[in-house]
Amino acid sequence: MNCPYCNHNETKVIDSRESKDGTNIKRRRECLKCEKRFSTAEKVLKLDLEVQKSNGEVQVFSLPKIKNSVLKSCDKRPVTLEQIEACLESILKDLKEVEGTTIPTGTVGRIVLKNLKDLDEIAFLRFAIVHNNYGSMNDFMSELEELKSFESIEYKNKRK
């Protein structure tokens, strides 16, 4: 952030105000060189992602929703909140790699499953059973086989 008066690149924030809807942050800054003050308006980065349900309905992607499901799946499992956060980060990273900004729910589910598989097997099974409408045991088993072959993911290395 350069000073609009002298173009110096060091400024300090003296006041921060978030807009009511949380999409904008106004900051009052002071230049460390000429000490003049100016304001900046920053847009909060939106996750430009949408989810398409099987009935065709499109919704804005909600990370809190995914987090809730993951938390439920991990209930009473030996998983820490940090591990869950890391898992969510990894899910987001995978979602961003999907082509296009409208992602079918099935794909979202698979990405969550792929990440849960490395986090905790029981959480993985719980999520799979709740979120996929398997027609039969065979459907379930064949999907498990497929998921087993998913490559391991990066965040595993970051685990302590």
CB nearer Zn ion, residue 8 or residue 131 = 8
Q: How far is the CB of 29 from Zn ion (least distance, A)?
A: 10
Q: Which of 45, 44, 46, 1 is nearest to 14 (CA)?
A: 1
CB nearer Zn ion, residue 36 or residue 77 = 36
Strands lying side by side in the sheet with 50-52: 58-60, 50-52, 102-104
CB nearer Zn ion, residue 11 or residue 90 = 11
* Residue labelled with tokens 């460390």: 32
CA distance 155 to 87: 7
Task: Give me the residues that bind Zn ion (CB under 5 A), please.
Answer: 3, 5-6, 8, 31, 33-34
Q: How far is the CB of 31 from Zn ion (least distance, A)?
A: 3
According to DSSP, residue 74 is labeled T
Q: How far is the CB of 43 from Zn ion (least distance, A)?
A: 24
CB nearer Zn ion, residue 2 or residue 142 = 2
Q: How far is the CB of 117 from Zn ion (least distance, A)?
A: 53
Q: Which of 123, 108, 118, 125 is nearest to 158 (CA)?
A: 118
